[in-house]
Chains A and B, each alone.
Chain A
Amino acid sequence: MSEVTLIINDEEVKAEEGMTILEAARSAGISIPTLCYHEKLAPYGACRLCMVEIVRGPQSRLVASCVYPVEDGLIVKTESDRVTKGRKMLLELMWARAPGVQPIREYGIKYGITGVQVIRDYGVGRKNMAKFEIEPSFCILCGLCVRYCAEIKKENAIGFVGRGIGREVVFFPEIARRTCPGCQECFSLCPTGALPSHYGLVEACH
C-alpha cells in the first residue's frame, strides 16, 4: 500500500492508499461528524453528515468522506460554508424525526439548528421552535443495527422494509426470538436510543 498525502483544512495529512477521507482525517485527529459510520462495518453513506468539499482547480464538489477514497494531492475542506449549511439542514430534518436525542442535540448546537438552543433543550413539545413539524419516529434509519446483525453476527434478525418515507427497521420474530435474548449487542449502537424500546415492544407481542 503506497502512501498518499492529502490536504485537509490546509493541513498536510499522510494516509495509505485504500483509506477513505474519513479514516485519514480521524487518524490525523480531524473530526468529521457522522451518525451512520462504524469502524467495524462497511461504510453506508446514508446520513450524509460526513460530506466534505473536495477541490480540484477551480472546481469543487461535495463527497461523502466515509466512502470517498484518498488521492494524492486531494484538497479537502471539512467545514466550508457549503458543508456547514448543508449539515445544519440535515440536522434540522433529523430533529423533526428524533427530537432531543443526544447526538443530534450535540451536533445541533455546534451547527446552530433551529430547535436547539442549549444542551438541555429536548425539543419535544416545542413544535413552534423547530423548523419542521415534529413527527417523532425516533429512528433515523442509520442502519447500524441492521448492518451489525448482518455483517458481524450474520443472523439477519433485524432488517429494513419499505421504501422512501415508509422505510422502517423491523425485527423478524422467528429469528429474533432465537438470537436476540442472548445478544442485544446492537442496542448500544443505536444513536437515538430507540432500538431497545422497539425490541421490547416486539418481545412483548411475540
Chain B
Amino acid sequence: MPRLNSAIDLERLKQEILTRADGKRIVSITNGTDGKTRHSEAVVQAFIDEVEKQGLADKVIVKSTGCHGFCEKEPSTVIFPEEICYVSLKPEDAPEIVSATLIENKIVDHLLYVDDDGNKIVHESEIPFYKYQSRIVFGNNRLIDPKNIEDYIALGGYTALAKALLEMTPEQVLEEVKKANLRGRGGGGFPAGIKWETTRNAPGEIKYVIVNADEGDPGAYMDRSLLEGNPHSVLEGLIIGAYAIGSHQGFIYVRQEYPIAVQNLSVALEQAQELGLLGSNILGSGFDFDVKVHRGAGAFVSGESSALMTAIEGRVGEPRPKYIRTAVSGIWERPSNLNNVETWATVPLIINKGSEWFTGIGTEGSKGTKIFSLVGKVNNTGLVEVPMGMTLREVIFDIGGGIPGGKKFKGVQTGGPSGGIIPESLLDTPVDFDELTKLGSMMGSGGMIVMDEDTCVVDVARYFLNFLAEESCGKCVPCREGIYQMLKILNRICEGEGREGDVEVLEEISEVVRDFSLCALGATAPNPVLSTIKYFRDEYEAHIKERRCPAGVCKALISYYIEPEKCQACLICLRNCPVGAIIGGKNLVHVIDQEKCTKCGTCFEVCPPRFDAVTRLSGAKVPEPVLAGTEVARKRGKKNE
C-alpha cells in the first residue's frame, strides 16, 4: 500500500475502499476471544466457503470481526446494509443463511433473537440489549476486521488524526480535550485534558505517552475487546494525544493473558506504519511518533500507573509514592502521560465531532459514554456502552434483561476489587463517577457484576480480599499485613468460626489499610469489605452469631438433606454424587452421609423438580437420618416413578 502523505491521500484511499465495497453485502461475524470459545472460527470459515461455493464472492464480503457486545449470543452475525442479526450460530447454519438471506432475501426465522415475550427480532438495533445503548466507541467493532486497516479507514478512521496534525495546533487539540472534560476510563476518573496539560508543561524535551491495557479487574474485559476488535481507534487517539503533549514515543502495555489483543495490535501497528500513519513524518505533517508494545507478566498491581512505568523500565512493577506525579516524572523520570484504552479510543471522536457534541452526552460531572462489562447473574451478559447518567437499574434490567431463573436481585459489584457492592435500594443511582464513589464503591474500569439471592456477600468480600492478598506487591506493611489479617478473619467467618467483635476488628484494620497504604491497591482494598458491612451487615451477623449463610454458599455452614417423605428413590443423586456419600437403593429412601459429603451441591441440582426432595440447610441442625432400609412413601396413584 502506498504511503499517505496528506489528508487528500487519506480521503482518496477511503473513497477507493468504499467504491470497491459499493453495493456489496457485508456478513460480519463475531470472532473475538469470546466467540472463539464457541467455535466462531469455524463459523467464519463455513461462511467463506459457502459464499465461494455459491459464486457470491464478488457480491458478498465475509468479515471476521471482534466482539459486538452481546457475548452471550456469540457467535452471531450482522448482515449489512439491512442490519439483520442472527445469533448463536453453528458452522452448519452458514449454507441456510447464505441461500435464504443473501440469495433469496428471506429471513431465517429460527436463527433470530427471541425476546422475553417470544417475539423474533430481525434488526440488531431493535434487540433490547442493543436498543438502549449508545455505542459511539464500541459500535464500529461490527464493521472492522482488526487485521485490515482498510476497514477502519472506510469508517473515517484517521481523519481525526489528519485534522489534528494538519489543521490544529497542539494547544488547540489540548484545549478541545480539556473542554470535553474526558475523564479517565481506567478507574481513576481523572480529567485526561488536565493530565495531558501537566505532562506537556513539565520540564524536559523527551516525553512519553502510554496506553494502559493491563485491565486486571476480574470481570472486566472492555479493553480486551476494543484492542482486539478495533486497535486502530486506540492508536489514533494515542497519536493525537502525543501530538498535543509533545511526545514522540509511546508504549502500549498489554497483559500477556490477552494474546489475541497483542497479535492484532502488532498487525495494526505494522499496517499503520506502512501507510505512513505511524513513524516518521505522519501524513506528511512533519510529526514523528513511534510505539513499542510491552507485555505484562501476570501482576495486577503492575497495572497501577506508576508500577506500570517501573515495569516498562525493566524493573519489578511495584508502585511508587505519588507525591511526584508521573505526568512530571514517569518512565526514566521523564514526563509520562498514561491513559486507559477506552480513554484513548474516545479521543478521535472528540476531535472529529467536537467537545460540544461530547459534553452534550452524559451528566454534569461525567461526560460521554462508558463501556461496561455486564456479567454475572444477568440474562443478557456482554459489553454495553451507555451514556453516563443512565441508572444502574436501567442497565441491569432494561439492557441486561434482569436476573435469570426468576431469582431475586441482591447487588451489583462495580469497580472491581477496589469497589463495592451496591444494593437494590440504590439501583436508581445514575452511572456517574462521583455518584458511585459517594456510595462507597467506584466506577472503576467498568466491570459490573450482578449478584442474586444465591450469592453470599461475605464470601464475595472474602474472594476480593483473597485476590488482593495474592496481588499485593508486599512492599508496605498496611497492605501486606493488613489485608492478610482481614482475610484471615473473613476466612474464619465463612468457615463458621466467626467471633463477636470480628466486624469491628475488620473496620479497625480497614482504616489503617485505607489511610496508610503506599498505593491505590491498598488504599481501596477495604472497599469490598466496608461496603458489604454497610449494606449487608445482617449477613455478617448471621454468619457469626447463627452460623448461618443466608445465601447457602459457605460450605462449612450448609448441609444437604434429603427429605425422606419426598424421596422417590430414583437413584439419580446417588449415581451422580462424586464421592459416593449417598446411601440408598431401589425403593429405599436415599440418605446423605454427612461425614462424606463435600457440599458440592450436585444432588441438589440433579434431584428431579417434581420430587424436590433435596434441601439445603444452614444455621439449623440436620435432622437425624432415617433408619437404613426405610422404604419410600410412594405418591398416591403413581407406581414405580
Q: DSSP majority for the B interface?
A: helix
| Distance of A166 Cα from B472 Cα, bound (Å) | 10
Chain B residues with CB below 8 A from A82, complex form: 515
Chain B CB within 10 A, most for which of A68, A97, A143, A165: A165
CB distance from B537 to the nearest CB of A (A): 22
> Using Cβ atoms and an 8 Å threshold, which residues of chain B touch A202?
none
Let me know if A48 and B476 touch, CB within 8 A: yes
With A63-B323, A68-B323 in contact, do A89 and B511 touch (Cβ < 8 Å)?
yes
Question: How many angstroms between the C-alpha atoms of A162 and B469 in the bound complex?
Answer: 12
Do the beta carbons of A48 and B485 come within 8 Å of each other?
A: no
Of the listed residues A48, A85, A141, the one surrounded by the most CB atoms of chain B closer than 10 A to its CB is: A48
Partner among A64, A93, A96 whose Cβ is within 8 Å of the Cβ of B321: A64
Distance A90 CA – B476 CA, assembled complex (angstroms): 10
B426 CB within 8 Å of chain A: no
B625, CB-defined interface residue at 8 Å: no
* A-chain residues with CB within 8 Å of residue B505 when the two chains form the complex: 131
Query: Which residues from B are CB-within-8-Å of A193?
Result: none
Interface centre among A51, A94, A160, A163 (most CB of B within 10 A): A163
| Shortest CB distance A112–B (Å) | 14
Is B470 part of the binding interface, using a Cβ–Cβ cutoff of 8 Å? yes
- Is B474's CB within 8 Å of the partner chain A? yes
Q: Is A140's CB under 8 angstroms from B511's CB?
A: no
Residues of chain A lying within 8 A (CB to CB) of residue B509: 89
Chain A residues closer than 8 Å to B469, beta-carbon distance: 164-165
Q: Is the CB of A93 within 8 A of B477?
A: yes
Interface residues of B in 447-476 (CB under 8 A from A): 469-476
Are B472 and A165 closer than 8 Å at their CB atoms? yes
Whether A140 contacts B477 by the Cβ 8 Å rule is: yes
Q: CA–CA, A68 to B321, complex, Å?
A: 9
The answer, yes or no, to whether B291 is at the interface (CB within 8 Å) is no
Contact residues in A for B471 (Cβ distance below 8 Å): 163-164
Residues A90 and B474 in contact in the complex (CB < 8 Å), given A82-B515, A85-B511, A132-B485: no
Residue of A nearest to B488 (CB): A133
Residues in chain A near residue B516, CB distance under 8 A:
48, 51, 62, 86, 90
Asked if B480 is at the interface of the complex by the 8 Å CB criterion, the answer is: yes
B481 contacts which chain A residues (CB < 8 A)?
93-94, 96-97, 165
B17 at the interface (CB under 8 A from A): no
Do A67 and B473 contact each other (CB < 8 Å), given the known contacts A86-B511, A93-B485, A165-B480? no
Mask: chain B, 480-506; 1 = CB below 8 Å from A; 0 = not: 111011001000000000000000010
* Residue A45 is within 8 A (CB to CB) of chain B in the complex: yes
Q: Please report which residues of chain A, range 71-105, place their CB below 8 angstroms from some CB of chain B when the two chains form the complex.
A: 82, 85-86, 89-90, 93-94, 96-97
Chain A proximity of B530: nearest CB distance (Å): 15
At the interface, yes or no: A206 with Cβ under 8 Å from chain B? Answer: no
Proximity bits, B521-558, A CB within 8 Å = 1, else 0: 00000000000000000000000000000000000000
Does any Cβ of A come within 8 Å of B597's Cβ?
Answer: no
A32 at the interface (CB under 8 A from B): no
A121 to B151, CA, bound (A): 73
Alpha-carbon distance A165/B482, docked complex (angstroms): 10
In the complex, are the beta carbons of A163 and B484 less than 8 A apart? no
Q: Is B508 an interface residue (CB 8 A)?
A: yes
CB of B518 closer than 8 Å to a CB of A: yes
List B340-374 residues whose CB lies under 8 Å from chain A. none
Distance A140 CA – B516 CA, assembled complex (angstroms)? 16
The answer to whether A89 and B476 touch across the interface, beta carbons within 8 angstroms, is: no
- The reply to whether A89 and B512 contact each other, CB–CB distance below 8 Å, is yes
Chain A residues, CB < 8 A from B316:
160
Chain B minimum-CB-distance residue to A91: B477
CB <8 Å contact, B478 and A90: yes
Query: Once the chains are docked, how many angstroms separate the CA of A66 from the CA of B301?
Result: 23
Residues in A whose Cβ lies below 8 Å from that of B21: none
Complex Cα spacing A45 to B323, Å: 12
Nearest B residue (CB) for A143: B475
Asked whether any CB of chain A lies closer than 8 Å to the CB of B299, the reply is yes
**What separation, in Å, do the CA atoms of A94 and B299 have in the docked complex?**
25
Residues of B within 8 A of A154 (CB): none
CA separation between A192 and B518, bound complex, in Å?
A: 22
CB distance from B329 to the nearest CB of A (A): 12
A132–B482 Cα distance when bound, in Å, is 10
Interchain CB contact (< 8 A) of B477 among A62, A90, A132: A90
In the complex with contacts A62-B515, A89-B509, A164-B470 CB distance below 8 A: yes
A47 interfacial by beta-carbon distance below 8 Å:
yes
With A62-B515, A86-B516, A93-B482 known to touch, is A45 a contact of B470 (CB < 8 Å)? no
Residues of B within 8 Å of A64, CB to CB, are: 321, 518
- Closest-CB distance, A92 to chain B (whole angstroms): 9
CB <8 Å contact, B474 and A165: yes
Chain B residues lying within 8 Å of A48, measured Cβ to Cβ, are: 476-478, 516-518
- Contact present for A93 and B474 (CB under 8 Å): no
* Residue numbers in B under 8 Å from A68 (CB-CB): 321, 323
Given contacts A67-B323, A68-B323, contact A86 B515 (CB under 8 A): yes
Q: Annotate A140-153 by CB proximity to B: 1 below 8 A, 0 otherwise.
A: 11010000000000
A46 is an interface residue with CB less than 8 A from chain B = yes
With both beta carbons as reference points, the residue of chain B lying nearest to A142 in the complex is identified as B477
Nearest chain B CB to A115 CB, angstrom units: 14
CB neighbors of B among A25-68 (8 A): 45-48, 51, 62-64, 67-68
A47 near B477 with CB under 8 A, answer yes
Does A69 lie at the interface of the complex (its beta carbon under 8 Å from any beta carbon of B)? yes
- Whether B323 contacts A69 by the Cβ 8 Å rule is yes
Asked if A167 CB lies within 8 Å of chain B CBs, one says yes
Q: Which residue of B lies closest to A133 (CB)?
A: B488
Flag if A163 contacts B474 (CB, 8 Å): yes
Q: Which residues of B contact A164 (CB under 8 A)?
A: 469-474, 480, 484
Partner of B480, one of A69, A89, A143, A167: A167
Question: In the complex, what residue of chain B is closest to A162 when comparing beta carbons?
Answer: B474
Q: How far is the CA of A143 from the CA of B316 in the complex (A)?
A: 15
Interchain CA distance A110-B515 in the complex, whole Å: 21
Report B25-66 residues with CB < 8 Å from chain A CB.
none
Inter-subunit contact A141/B474 (CB<8 Å)? yes
Quote the shortest CB–CB distance from B358 to chain A (angstroms): 31
In the complex, what residues of B have CB within 8 A of residue A45's CB? 321, 476, 518
Tell me the bound Cα distance from A203 to B393 in angstroms: 64
A25 to chain B, nearest CB (A): 16
Beyond A86-B511, A93-B485, list 12 extra A-B contacts (CB 8 Å).
A45-B321, A46-B475, A48-B478, A63-B323, A85-B512, A86-B478, A89-B511, A93-B482, A96-B485, A163-B299, A163-B301, A166-B474
- 23 A-B residue pairs with Cβ-Cβ distance under 8 Å, sorted by A, are A46-B518, A47-B476, A47-B477, A48-B518, A64-B518, A67-B321, A67-B323, A68-B321, A86-B512, A86-B516, A89-B478, A93-B477, A94-B481, A132-B485, A140-B477, A141-B474, A141-B477, A163-B474, A165-B469, A165-B474, A165-B480, A166-B474, A167-B473
The 9 closest A-B pairs by CB, nearest first: A167-B474, A93-B481, A89-B512, A164-B472, A48-B516, A164-B474, A86-B512, A67-B321, A163-B474
